[in-house]
Amino acid sequence: MKSSETASPHERPKTGAVDYDSELQLHDKAFRRACGVHARERVLDIGCGSGQTTRDAARAASAGSAVGIDISAPAIARARELAAAQDVRNVRFEQGDAQAHPLPRQGFDVAISRFGTMFFADLLAAFRNIRGALADNGRLVMMVWQAREANEWSTAIHGHCAQSSAAFSLADPSTVERILDAAGFADATFQDVREPVYYGDSVEAALDWIGQFQATREALRSLDAASAERERARIREIVERHRRDGGVWFDSRAWIVRAHCRRTP
């Protein structure tokens, strides 16, 4: 996806339908800087979605390459379309689950992920597979959500509704350090990122975006008609309170986690 250089939520973002890339537009600058992709590096992008971060990496790796992997076939199809439309040639996309996908051994110099590593069924197995795909001097850079209570987009919108804990599975630094150490990584560091997420340029756009969330759909389906209508009214009121100059914004907290590969014996 094409990264926004927007530096403030009061600067006008791109208009139109909201998507995941525009939602995270203020996170991208910090993430790209943290990745620090070099010209000749081979990059693996985990959970690449429609490929914005992969294309950004490919552009930085002008004499190298980037591979994006995602479990969603529609997302991979869209990523390929956008790469072709933007004439990014040193990039390719594969559909698969990085936990078990047959990645080439030591085929990459850096693995990156923007909110794509929290949802593995077996986190340790996934990071071991990723480590095996990295050169011995390779590195990992990923962005993950901090705890649910630090993320207004979850607490305000979903309230007391059940929220999948998977989105916050890598929120605790000690847990992340333990998993990465067992997977063959070392020297993990955690950079605090506090940027709001963008939900659209109007209340209606935000409500449409929120309505696409699995947690929202499941919560509404669990209610009777009258209760569902009250829940929709509650969400609308919250969205209206978060409408400010430039769009609808909710606070969020994330970690940028960096780690290096521990050399194999």
Secondary structure string (H, E, C) spanning 86-109: CCCCCEEEEECCCCCCCCCCCCEE
Which residue ranges make up each domain of the chain? 20-147+163-198+252-261
pLDDT for 8 equals: 31
Q: Which two tokens stand for residue 48?
A: 């690449």
pLDDT for 218 equals: 87
Helix axes 203-210, 225-241, angle to 10 degrees: 130
3-state secondary structure of 199: coil
pLDDT for 173 equals: 98
Fold held by 20-147+163-198+252-261: Rossmann fold (3.40.50)
Q: What is the pLDDT along the chain (265 residues), one digit of tens a residue?
A: 233 223 333 233 444 568 999 999 999 999 999 999 999 999 999 999 999 999 999 999 999 999 999 999 999 999 999 999 999 999 999 999 999 999 999 999 999 999 999 999 999 999 999 999 999 999 999 999 999 999 999 999 987 554 557 899 999 999 999 999 999 999 999 999 999 999 999 999 999 999 998 888 888 999 999 999 999 999 999 999 999 978 999 999 999 999 999 986 6
In the 8-state DSSP scheme, what is residue 3? P
Distances (CA, A) of 104 to 58, 112, 125, 133, 156: 18, 16, 16, 6, 42
